[in-house]
Amino acid sequence: MLLVYWNLLLLGVVFAVVTLILGEIIGHWLDSLSNAFHVDHLDYLQPVVVIGGLTCLGAIGVLLTKYTSWSEPFIGVLSLLFAVLISMSVYFGYVKKMAKAENSIGHSTAELVGKIAEVSVPIPSRGYGEIIVKTVSGYSNYPAISFEGQLIKQGNKVVIVELRGRDFAVSELNL
């Protein structure tokens, strides 16, 4: 049983190192898998929770096996209980709270539709320019395209018409 505990512990350590190096790629793969199998509602099955729980199971199992004279079934049950308790703590104390957190610094890009902005880099009829928008957290720059397909010069005021992916479609503001 000690071998199983060591393997679980090593699995967690290897996963942590690999995640540190290839975190974004692994995150996208896992997101794709969850979308493919329609398991979005199982948000408690986040890798940090599952792998963290298995790592704790292995670590606690190794420690209790080496430093106590308790029976293997008792050590297994106790390790499992502690692993579940730690996983639940990680899920409710970190994962769930972070899922509710805003990804930006005080505003959502979708909230900027309808706002007035200023062109900082001219927006060609076909192509990208840049706008400056006053937000709750200060001024933010965003890529922009012309909604009507017309050249918009630097310094002109524009209104944000819609969000297309990560870019804003803007129209010149003529008052």
Q: Burial level of 23, CB count in 10 A (0-12/13-18/19+)?
A: exposed
Nearest alpha-carbon partner for 106 in 140, 142, 136: 136
Nearest alpha-carbon partner for 111 in 160, 56, 152, 64: 160
CA pseudo-torsion sign 99, 102, 105, 111: positive
Low-confidence ranges of the chain (pLDDT < 70): 39-43, 100-107
Strands 116-121, 138-146: parallel, antiparallel or unpaired by DSSP? unpaired
Residue 139, token pair as written in the block: 């001024």
- The answer for residues whose C-beta is within 8 angstroms of residue 129's C-beta and 6 or more apart is 119, 120, 121, 122, 123, 143, 144, 145, 146, 152
Cα 10 to Cα 54: distance, rounded to the nearest angstrom: 10
What amino acid is encoded at 40 in this protein? D
pLDDT of residue 105: 57
Contact 155, 119 (CB under 8 A): yes
pLDDT of residue 20: 78
pLDDT of residue 40: 60
pLDDT of residue 106: 60
Residue 146, token pair as written in the block: 């012309």
Write the pLDDT tens digit of every residue in 147-158.
Answer: 999 999 999 999
Residues of the chain with CATH 2.40.50.140: 109-172
Cα 70 to Cα 166: distance, rounded to the nearest angstrom: 58
Cα 132 to Cα 117: distance, rounded to the nearest angstrom: 6
Cα three-residue angle 134-103-132, rounded to 5 degrees: 20
Superfamily of domain 109-172: Nucleic acid-binding proteins (2.40.50.140)
